[in-house]
């Protein structure tokens, strides 16, 4: 059985839609990296934006690899539980990239301000005329604003429907990219006005939000990898659906202890201290949230009381 066989058809179609969007994301990001690299000059904001755009390739690539393995990876003796957790591994890599992006931006900007480095924006010869390089920087920044803004807004509803933290982190990365573009415009204009510090201040300002999002994503992704309780889509706090599920199972099987863990987009429950029902179990009926999200509860297993001789 493949991972996709365990998902509703509507979710599989949404997953394919997200994959197509990520291919567009990679294509646009590469074009932005090239255009920014050609005109970045000595601008601190342009350099950090270029690094950020380059790291921005990590989440979509990780998502595509994880989705492909989840959909096509066969259960085998070597991988008896399938490849649902590969999405969580991709989520961790994307979280590292997001946190690293913010950290690099903050460090570089702070060092530039501490050392008082004065970036200069010269001129280039284009079509027989001398043109201030700042105009080309501004054009590249404006171009870099649009694709992340559009793609990120399309990713968020897909991430919510799929309960996909990796895709949600990529949407945050795109948010960071267009915010960087906006701050970059302000920084380049500041350099043009002779405000040497404006460039670094603009880069440092946006880095705080990126670091915050990256740390939240790292906390959630690490919790998933070490079998922590399911976290919310956009928060390291415990998921409301998981909390409600735990309460429902403990009420239904009194005296038991319920443990929940998340493998990718799926939740698995273990009921300890109860023998379980004798008849077939309808796990969809146990889901406390919206019925169209009941597919997330992938498994309910029971561990009856045990006794060991001294």
Categorize the per-residue pLDDT at 264 as very low, low, confident or very high, splitting at 50, 70 and 90. Answer: confident
Q: What is the pLDDT of residue 297?
A: 92
Task: List the Cα angle 29/63/70 in 5-degree steps.
Answer: 155
Mean pLDDT within 27-31: 92
Mean pLDDT within 253-269: 89
Q: What is the spatial distance between Cα 28 and Cα 51, in angstroms, rounded to a whole number?
A: 15
Is the model's pLDDT at 224 over the cut of 80? yes
> Per residue in 82-97, pLDDT tens?
787 888 888 888 888 8
- Which range (79-93, 241-255, 270-284, 285-299) has the least confidence? 79-93
Q: What is the spatial distance between Cα 280 and Cα 288, in angstroms, rounded to a whole number?
A: 19
Categorize the per-residue pLDDT at 18 as very low, low, confident or very high, splitting at 50, 70 and 90. Answer: very high
What's the token pair of residue 60? 């979509």
Q: What is the spatial distance between Cα 155 and Cα 86, in angstroms, rounded to a whole number?
A: 19
Q: What is the pLDDT of residue 155?
A: 92
Q: Give the pairing type, strands 266-272 and 297-303.
A: parallel
Maximum distance among all Cα pairs of the chain, rounded to whole angstroms: 92
Helices (H), 116-197: 133-162, 165-192
The share of the chain scoring above pLDDT 90, in percent, equals 17
Any idea where the domains of the chain sit in the sequence? 9-226, 240-303
pLDDT top residue among 269 and 224: 269
Q: What is the pLDDT of residue 2?
A: 40
Q: What is the spatial distance between Cα 136 and Cα 156, in angstroms, rounded to a whole number?
A: 31
- Which range (211-215, 246-250, 261-265, 297-301) has the least confidence? 211-215
In CATH terms, the fold of domain 9-226 is Alpha-lytic protease prodomain-like (1.20.1510)
* φ, ψ at 77 (rounded to 5°): -60, -30
Q: What is the spatial distance between Cα 21 and Cα 153, in angstroms, rounded to a whole number?
A: 11
Q: What is the pLDDT of residue 191?
A: 67
Cβ atoms of 14 and 160 closer than 8 Å: no
How remote is the C-alpha of 168 from its chain's centroid?
5
């Amino acid at each position: 059985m493949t991972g996709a066989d365990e998902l509703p058809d509507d979710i599989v179609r949404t997953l394919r839609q997200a994959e197509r969007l990520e291919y567009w994301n990679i294509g646009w990001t590469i074009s932005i990296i090239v255009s920014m690299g050609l005109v970045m000059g000595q601008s601190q904001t342009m350099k950090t934006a270029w690094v950020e755009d380059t790291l921005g390739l990590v989440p979509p690539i990780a998502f595509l690899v994880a989705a492909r393995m989840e959909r096509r990876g066969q259960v085998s003796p070597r991988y008896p539980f399938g490849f649902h957790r590969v999405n969580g591994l991709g989520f961790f890599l994307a979280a590292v990239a997001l946190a690293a992006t913010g950290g690099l931006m903050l460090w570089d900007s702070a060092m530039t301000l501490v050392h008082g480095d004065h970036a200069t924006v010269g001129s280039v010869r284009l079509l027989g005329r001398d043109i201030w390089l700042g105009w080309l920087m501004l054009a590249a920044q404006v171009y870099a604003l649009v694709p992340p803004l559009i793609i990120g807004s399309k990713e968020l509803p897909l991430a919510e429907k799929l309960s996909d933290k990796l895709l949600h982190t990529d949407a945050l990365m795109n948010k960071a990219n267009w915010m960087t573009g906006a701050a970059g415009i302000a920084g380049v204009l500041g350099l043009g006005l002779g405000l040497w510090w404006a460039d670094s201040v603009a880069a440092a300002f946006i880095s705080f939000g990126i670091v915050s999002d990256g740390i939240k994503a790292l906390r959630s992704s690490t919790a998933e990898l070490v079998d922590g309780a399911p976290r919310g889509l956009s928060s390291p706090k415990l998921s409301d659906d998981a909390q409600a599920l735990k309460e429902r199972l403990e009420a239904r099987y009194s005296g038991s202890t319920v443990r929940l863990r998340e493998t990718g987009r799926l939740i698995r429950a273990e009921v300890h201290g109860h023998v379980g029902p004798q008849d077939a179990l309808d796990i969809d009926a146990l889901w406390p949230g919206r019925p169209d999200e009941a597919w997330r509860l992938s498994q309910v297993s029971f561990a009856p009381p045990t006794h060991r001789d001294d």
